[in-house]
Structure 1
Amino acid sequence: MRNDRPPGRAPATARAAAAALLAVLMAALLTGAPPATGAARTGTDGSGSWSVRPAGTADRTAFVMDAAPGAVVKDAVRVGNLSDAPLSFQVYGSDAYNTPRDGALAYRQAGEAQTGLGSWLSLATNALVIPPGRAADIPFTLKVPADATPGSHVGGIVALNNAVEQAGGEAAGVEVGIQRAIAVRIQLSVEGPVTPGLAVRSVRVHHRPGGAPFAGARVTLTYTVVNTGNAALRPTVQPRVSGVFGLRHSAFADRTLPLLLPGQSADISADWPGAPGVDHLTASVRVSAPGLPATTAQSSRVAVSWPTLGVGAALLGLLAFALGRLRRRRSDETSRTGSVS
């Protein structure tokens, strides 16, 4: 959804950098379904701002539907132009997914294959121009396949602003075109047995000691939360770290993750600066969701700071040397006393 337009004189490395920047921008700008009251983004080139929300009553911030396999659902989405100039849009249905990092909810781009709910959507129009300060309601039809699996299916309707912002320039040696898009979420529950499930996997404690003896270390806790069932959930995770030397048990804050879709996962990491340089660390991560039993996974490791151990070993060596000298002195005194007797 972003066009890489490097100048003809740009070197290959600049073009590669542009491609990398493009990937970052696409992930950042298509993340999450915005709420109805804040569903507007403003282009830095003055392309304007706009909103996308369900048509009708203002209290709907997303489409939440229940349907049987084979059912047909009709509704409408409202795209509003909040700027003082006409705006041109491409509007399309999209599959939702969780990004691997932190599990943020994102939507497939227009050029990507839509294999889930995005492919079930049919809009009355996919292109429109909205005058300034006006809004357009676009009817759509959602046809649930007869063989749709029970449980949650999540997607969205995306409004892509056709205006292209230019980023980069002569100093960077590359120009990048950016198109911005926002989406409104569609959460469909297909009738049938619902079996929610969560799991925690790959709990790891990464320990990076400081460079000076007895300096604090940095601990990074990483873990993966997996939705193993067929219902979309908002998991709450409670990470804890404990140690044998009185390390506090609440080094990391509890957190609620974004909506995690069936079969999707979220890789989570959290840093703890000022951790002990030497200890035996045990990490546990508890994950729960409303109406679902909590599950916990653990991992442990020995935390070692070589500068601290080196100084400790040197101190022990000095202590052993001093004790040895003291023993020899006492032995010599005892021998002289015995000789005098």
Structure 2
Amino acid sequence: MHVLATRRKTAVATLVRTAALALLAAVAAAGLGAVPARAADGDVTWTVRTASNSYGADRSSFSYSVNPGGQVNDAMVVANRGKDPLDLAVYTADGFTTGTGQLDLLTRDKKSVGIGAWVHADRERVVIQPGKTAEVPFAVNIPDNAPPGDYAGGIVTSLTQANEAEGINVDRRLGIRIKLRISGELKPSLTVEDLHIDYAGTSNPFGKGDATVTYRIHNTGNAILSAQQAVSVTGPFGWLRADAGDVAAPPELLPGESWTVTVPVHGVAPAVRLAATVGLTPLLTDASGSTTALDPVSTTAHGWAIPWTLLVLVVVLLAAVVGAPLLARRGRARRKQREDARVQEAVEQALREQETPAR
């Protein structure tokens, strides 16, 4: 269970600004107990938990396996831990993964096509007296033509209160995650897209540099998946391999979602032509919470790693090797020319002296 406190400033009248709902990633049973939840903009004086029934007690979230056309009836329990009566709005919405890897919910003004459209509470508001609890039943009605696979969303309680001093409304929300698996052919699939590698060398002509491998993990199947990741960089023919080490797992991605990953790889030799390889082992979690590793997938892309300082050194050495004999020959030729000139001058001087008449 998580808490969301959001604000929206007023223009003419007071407008409510709703922000991402970061309450649904993993609702801990301890957080659903008697201790009031806390929000960034103040105390939330109510708690929510799953009802105890034939589906179980002390569940951390709602999770169902349902056939197309099937129905499920369940309930959420809301407790008022404060000193004043509470009038809470109740609604459901589809989920999505945020840029921080948390499960969030669409706001009420956005259209839901999955859980937010199929799950309905029996009331839109619930009033709870101090120290009391209220059970909010809800029904899950799956359309006959619902595609098989996994769906995630949540059921939310919301309290909007005016803050006259700041001229804003504060919307505090508390909810529980709902996960559906609709029966039919499950096709879990992850792909690696837009894989590329960048290399940064060093001034040391014999030193190793760093590579940065960037790619996007795309859930192209119909199941919620995470993955184990492995990234390596090699030179031609698989030589000079460098591994990235432990790479953090991506968050659980809903069907159709993508997640961008940037991985540094250190100690990469500037082997001119590099190959970056990304291996993914998809992880599928069933309704009981057990995780299964699926067949791994691998993708490779190439990039350049030109050892410029080494090339400059090689060019200088080649120039020295090729130029030294040439310079030596030129030096000998110049010395010979100077010697020949001195001999010629001496001969000419001797001839001039012979031609001078004696006095």
TM exceeding 0.5: yes
Q: Which residue matches 2:176?
A: 184
Q: Do structure 1's residue 36 and structure 2's residue 60 form an aligned pair?
A: no
Question: What is the CA–CA distance in structure 1 between the aligned matches of 2:242 and 2:132, rounded to whole Å?
Answer: 54
Question: What is the CA–CA distance in structure 2 between the aligned matches of 1:220 and 1:183, rounded to whole Å?
Answer: 39
The 5-angstrom pairing of residues 39-118 of structure 1 reads: 41-48=37-44, 50-56=46-52, 58-82=57-81, 87-99=86-98, 101=99, 104-118=102-116
Instruction: Measure how far apart 1:285 and its partner are.
Output: 1.9
Q: Do structure 1's residue 239 and structure 2's residue 231 form an aligned pair?
A: yes
Instruction: Measure how far apart 1:92 and its partner are.
Output: 0.8
Contact kept? 1:165, 1:179, Cα under 8 Å: no
The alpha-carbon distance between structure 1 residues 78 and 283, as it changes in their structure 2 partners (threshold 3 A), is: farther
Say which SS state the counterpart of residue 19 (structure 2) adopts.
helix
Q: Which runs of 5+ in 2 are unaligned?
A: 284-291, 340-359
Residue-pair matches, total: 310
The alpha-carbon distance between structure 1 residues 31 and 70, as it changes in their structure 2 partners (threshold 3 A), is: closer
The alpha-carbon distance between structure 1 residues 275 and 129, as it changes in their structure 2 partners (threshold 3 A), is: farther
Q: Which residue matches 2:145?
A: 147
Question: What is the CA–CA distance in structure 2 between the aligned matches of 1:318 and 1:26, rounded to whole Å?
Answer: 61
Question: What is the CA–CA distance in structure 2 between the aligned matches of 1:265 and 1:247, rounded to whole Å?
Answer: 35
Per-residue CA deviation, residues 54-103 of structure 1 (Å, 9 max, x unaligned), is 1115431111212222222110012344556555432211112234x465
Question: What is the CA–CA distance in structure 1 between the aligned matches of 2:24 and 2:231, rounded to whole Å?
Answer: 25
Instruction: Measure how far apart 1:140 and its partner are.
Output: 0.7
Question: What is the CA–CA distance in structure 1 between the aligned matches of 2:298 and 2:164, rounded to whole Å?
Answer: 47
Q: Which residue matches 1:201?
A: 193
Q: Which residue matches 1:4?
A: 8
Match among 229, 248, 253 for residue 255 of structure 1: 248
Q: Which residue matches 2:135?
A: 137
Contact kept? 1:89, 1:161, Cα under 8 Å: yes
Q: Which residue matches 2:303?
A: 301
Say which SS state the counterpart of residue 313 (structure 2) adopts.
helix
Contact kept? 1:242, 1:282, Cα under 8 Å: yes
Per-residue CA deviation, residues 181-238 of structure 1 (Å, 9 max, x unaligned), is 343222222232333322222222244x37x734986643322222233232333333
Give the structure with higher Rg (CA).
2
Contact kept? 2:250, 2:259, Cα under 8 Å: no
Q: Which runs of 5+ in 1 are unaligned?
A: 9-18, 170-174
Q: Which residue matches 2:117?
A: 119
The alpha-carbon distance between structure 1 residues 269 and 253, as it changes in their structure 2 partners (threshold 3 A), is: same
Question: What is the CA–CA distance in structure 1 between the aligned matches of 2:120 and 2:180, rounded to whole Å?
Answer: 15
Contact kept? 1:278, 1:303, Cα under 8 Å: yes
Instruction: Measure how far apart 1:164 and its partner are.
Output: 6.2
Say which SS state the counterpart of residue 38 (structure 1) adopts.
helix
Say which SS state the counterpart of residue 319 (structure 1) adopts.
helix
Match among 209, 213, 223 for residue 203 of structure 2: 213
The alpha-carbon distance between structure 1 residues 328 and 252, as it changes in their structure 2 partners (threshold 3 A), is: same
